[in-house]
Structures are given as structure tokens and as C-alpha cells.
Structure 1
Amino acid sequence: MNLFIDSNIWLSLYHFTNDDLEQFAKLKDMINKSIRLFVPQQVYSEISRNREAKLKEALKFFDGKDVQFPAFSKGYSEFEIVKQTYSSFIEQMKDWKKKINSDILLHNLPADKTIEQIFEQIDFLPCQDYVQKAYNRYRIGNPPGKDNKYGDAINWECLLDKVPYHEDLYFISADKDYCSELFDGEMKDFLKSEWANAKNSKIHFYKNLVSFLNKNVSDIKLEAENRKSDLIEELRDSRSFQETHKIVAQLKLFTGWAEDQIELLCSIAEKNSQVRQILRDSDVFKFYMGILSGKDPESLQDSAERRVLADLYDIGRNRNFDEDLGFTASDTPEDFPCF
């Protein structure tokens, strides 16, 4: 099996649980045996370049904040116990964060180790010879590529050249540049046709690891990621407000959402009335604000993400920045982007 895993999929490993990472690490034993992994140098560069941003996203809610105890609370018998316990928690949190930060700097996180173990099994494909070809295809409007960026085009040209003729390619990417605008889970028709004409073979497209592994590699089971996928499907099929609240409560137990998962969750918020009509409810609102936190509306193309984010900001304005919805007293309408 010829396999390509895009940089956005590799970066999603930083959101995996340790159990899922251990499962995914089994892939290294399949490399150069049942699986031939194609990794252009461009992919490795993108992983290295975007690692810090991905970790920043993962750490955004990982913070132990100091609590200011009101004067009247000191008259309660619980005060000293709670104060001591909380102070101990804050110190432990600081020590823990120092250890994590050290591992980040040393590239010693579990995901770092997993990626390194797999990459040790392969040779990166040089990409310098494909830069001009990628630039040319981008200039004439052929996918993949957008916003004066053609890294995806470099990878595509590299794969067109390096994957053997007559051999299929299994292609995993959450990048919308590859995705059909008509059919969910399908690759752009232009790219499928180009591949078929150039290689006389098929390209099998997957938007995430779960769908690829479940269908093709039965030995690797990503339990947490599978559970997230199941919950997303349950939310898509939700038929009552009560059911939606129940599912959202379970979704909130997870962190680290891949781009395709976020887009799908936002699409559900648009299309399923049992989600859309209670988007202003505190739990649903906070969940969606959480998964969209850090998104720059100006950089988002017309998509479910952008439209749902606009709805969330409208809800915030109409609720006068209710603190229960996650806005601070200092927020003003000017702080929110115009759509």
C-alpha cells in the first residue's frame, strides 16, 4: 500500500491521547513492509514550521489561575483547608507546566517521539525540483493551493512523480484544497482525474486517520478518536434539544479537534435545527466557542466555520456579553470582527 499523510494529519497527533498514540505508533512496524510511506521534504518542513502553533492551540485552556478569596469567605471553617489545598494545586501546576515546557523545547513530547520513530523508517523525498512546477500550476489556477501559497502543490507534484505508475495511492488530508466542494469525503474531481490520467491508477482519499485506519488497517484502533467521530455522528442525527445537550456534554470531555472535525461540527450546527436553535444555550455556545477559539475570521473562507463563528458573535452582542457565555466585562462590540 502506497500511503501519503499530509502535514495537518501529522500535526493532529499532538491532540491524541497517549493510548491512541501508542496505537498509531504501530504504523512504524508496517513501514517498508505492508505500507510504503511517501513523505515529501515539504511535509516535514510544514510539520516543523507549524508545531509551535499547534501546541499553543492545545495549551490555550491549560492554565491554573489564582483565585482571589473575598474577605467574608475567611470567616468560614472551610477557608484555611481550601486555601492550602488550592495553593498546593497552583504550585503543582507550575511544576507540571515547567516539565511540559521543557519537553516541548526538547521535542520530547509523546507525539514528538511517535513522529520521530516513524520518520526514522523512511527517507524524505527532495522537493526542490517541483517548486517551479507547483508555482506554474498555482498561477494558472489548478488545485491544490490558495492565498499565494503553493506548498500543497509542491507535495502533489512530488507524489505525481514519485509514486510508481499503475499503483494506487492512499491519501489522507484534512486540507480543503483537496476536498470536493460537492461531495463530503471525496477528493476534488480535477485532482482525481489528473491522477488517473498521469498514473493510470486510483487515488483513495480520506479526511482523517480514523476513517483510513478503520477501513484499511484493522490492527490500529484509535479509541478516543473513534469515540469523537461517533459523538459527531450522534450530534448530526440528534432529534431533540435534550439529546443535543447530552451529546454536547460528552463532546466537551474531549480536547484537540482536527480541522475536518471542526468543519463538520459547524456544518451540523447549521443544518440540524436541534443544534442550531439552541446555539445560544450556555453549554452549546461554550462548546462551539471553545473549538473555534483562536480562529481568525478574516482568514476563513466562506465555510460553515465562518458562518457559525459569525452567529456566535451575534449571540454575544445580543446577550450584552453575558459573562456566563464566556465574554469578559472589557469586551465591546468593536472587539468582534465584522462579517
Structure 2
Amino acid sequence: MADLHVFIDTNAWLAFYAFTSDDLEQLRKLIAVINKDKVKLYTSHQLVDEFYRNREKKLQESLAAFTSSGVSKSVPRYMRSFPEMADYDKAMQKLEKLRNDMIARSREEAKSKALAADKLFADVIKAAPPEKIDNKLISAALDRRLRGNPPGKPDKLGDQIHWEALLRDVPDGADLHIVSKDGDFESPLEKGAAHAFLVDEWREKKNGKLTLHTELKPFFNAHFPTIKLAVDVEKIDAIDQLVNAGFFAATHVAIAQLMVLVDALTWDDADKILTAGLENNQIRWIGSDKDVREFYQSLIVKFDQKIDPERKQSLLAVFTKEEVQTGLDAIDWEGDPPF
């Protein structure tokens, strides 16, 4: 079961087509933590419909804002005599051409849903398939709106449907994190906090805590502070598997995952891996295996200046074929050693 239960409102998804401090790497990180079962993301057909219904409008708004922004081509008349004006005019012509090219490309890719944000949203929905919205749930959402209960606006039903779906789908006892930018889930009294009515309702009906986030980035900073890039999710998981490997096959699987991530490993990562290589028998006893040996030797070379000489000698003794193989050959067993 995932550690964190998350709902991302439609407006937060659409923000990736506008001007936002969130970047597309946040979506890549989200997909990675979903696939590693660290986050359970709740989506629905209502959310997907809202997204595609409003996508083109949001794209047009952002393109219009981008078109109207920029450096002015007009300059005070007295500046025209400055020697820099020729370079300024050339730079403005180049800027205008680049902007027009980018706008044209954006429109073309938008038509075929080929924008990076389009592809990542599709990948998110693949990782977190949408739940169905039935008549019973719509009836509950309508009743909620007629009663005037949050979230949502009195002339729309979308947020009420989202909330009733969350009450239906999220398991009892689970805390819920909502990412939303437009204030429909927000307290009128305390900016950035969830509406008190919803907090109380979630506690009473689901026996959990409700937390509101305005963007994905602060959510990741709070709950996954070591994850800066999507690759960090794979890296941290593979390091954990290796450090805690309880049998030889698990060691080989973790090594295979880490081999493609060597360039992304920091010294802190390497320190944990090297320590495990000396302390975990399931790594040490197969230190002569080609994949294990080559991986550890690549780390020793990469971080040569940071490893103290005594520790380096111990590592080389383990991850050098001849010395380790001598110890293994001295033992007669069938299959893996019984550790």
C-alpha cells in the first residue's frame, strides 16, 4: 500500500500549460513515485474530461500572454545615435523570429497532443488509471452543492464530484494530500490551509488528516526532500535494495539497476553502497562476480579522492577477482552460500 494518498485538482494540471513555478520534472517525479508505490494518485474520468475540456483555452491564454510579453522594439529617439543600436535591432529581430517559431511549434504540437506536458499527463493517467463516476456519486455531489457545502462553486459540480469520489475511493484511516491552485479547497480564513469544513469532514468520515498544497514542488520538498529529479526515485530505491539485500539474486538485481545510474550517484550515495559492500555478506561473497566487481570498481575509480586509503584497500580486497575467488573456491557448496 502506498505511503501517501494524493489528489491533484484539474487547475494544477492545467498550470503546466501556463506560467507556473512547477516544472515538468515534477510530473516525471510524480510518475516515478507512483510506479514505485510510494504515492497513490487518485484520478477520475471527471478529472480527465475537465482537463481536456479546458486544455485548449489554457494553451491559448498562455500563448497570448507569451506573445504580448517581451522587450520593447521602441526606444527613445536619443538612443538611436548610440553605437549599440545596430546590435540591439539585430537582437530584437532574432528574438522576434525565435518567439514566432516557438509559438508556431507550440500550436502544431498542441494539435497532435505532442507537447511534453501532454505526453507526461498521458503517462500519469496510465500510471494512475481514472476511476468511474456513477450516478450515485453524481447524486451525492449534487446534494452537496444544493446544501452549499464546500468544495467548489455554486454554479459548477466538478469539485463536488471530485470530493465525493475521494470519500468513496480513499481507504479509511488514510491522510489525504490535495494539490489545488484556485482556492476551492482552501480556507477563507487561512491562506494555504485546507477549508476547515473539509478538514473536519475528512476526520469524521475517513479518520484521517487533510492537507492542502498549492503546487507539486512544495509537496515533494516536504515529503521527498532527497528527490530532486525523477531519476532520484529509481536511484534511492535501488540503493535501498542493495544495502538491504538478503540473498544473492537481490544483489544482482540491484546492481543491474544501479549500473545505468552510475553517473547520477553522488558521494553520499557511493558511501552507503561502499559500506554495504564491506558489511553485507550477500554483496561481499559475490564480489568477484563480473557485474558486482565492475560496478564497485567503477565507484572506486569515480570517487578515488574521497575514499581513505585503508578503506580503499579493504574494498579492493573484496572486489578483486583473485582474492575473493580464493575464499569462495575453498568452500564446497551447491548453489548459493547459505547466508
Q: Give the shorter-chain TM-score range.
A: 0.5 to 0.7
Q: Is this contact kept in 2: 1:7–1:43, CA < 8 A?
A: yes
The residue aligned with 2:211 is 204
- Across the aligned residues of Structure 1 and Structure 2, the Cα RMSD in angstroms comes to 3.2
Question: How far did 1:19 drift?
Answer: 9.2
The residue aligned with 1:166 is 173
Amino acid at match of 1:14: Y
Alignment of 1:61-140 (within 5 A): 61-63=65-67, 90-128=96-134, 129-140=136-147
Which of the two has higher C-alpha Rg? 2
Q: Distance in 2 between matches of 1:211 and 1:79?
A: 44
Distance 1:202 1:77, change over 3 A: closer
What whole-Å deviation, never above 9, does each CA across 1:182-226 have from its counterpart, x for those lacking one?
A: 22222112111111111122222222223311111224449xxxx
Q: Distance in 2 between matches of 1:4 and 1:19?
A: 16
Q: Distance in 1 between matches of 2:22 and 2:7?
A: 23
Pick which of 11-20 and 35-44 moved more: 11-20
Amino acid at match of 1:177: D
Q: Is this contact kept in 2: 1:42–1:127, CA < 8 A?
A: yes
Alignment of 1:165-184 (within 5 A): 165-184=172-191
What whole-Å deviation, never above 9, does each CA across 1:72-131 have from its counterpart, x for those lacking one?
A: 999999888876765565445433322221011111222222222222112101113411
Structure 2 portions without partners, runs of 5+: 230-339
Q: Is this contact kept in 2: 1:18–1:110, CA < 8 A?
A: no
Q: Distance in 2 between matches of 1:172 and 1:214?
A: 13
Residue 37 of structure 1 pairs with residue 41 of structure 2: yes
TM-score normalised to the size of structure 1? 0.56
Q: What SS is found at the alignment partner of 1:125?
A: coil
Aligned-residue sequence identity (percent) comes to 35
Q: Is this contact kept in 1: 2:10–2:47, CA < 8 A?
A: yes
Amino acid at match of 1:181: P
Amino acid at match of 1:165: D
Residues matched between the structures, number: 222
Residue 52 of structure 1 pairs with residue 62 of structure 2: no
Q: Distance in 2 between matches of 1:4 and 1:69?
A: 49
Amino acid at match of 2:59: L
What whole-Å deviation, never above 9, does each CA across 1:137-173 have from its counterpart, x for those lacking one?
A: 1011111122411110000000000111122212221
Q: Distance in 1 between matches of 2:5 and 2:22?
A: 26
Q: Is this contact kept in 2: 1:172–1:206, CA < 8 A?
A: yes
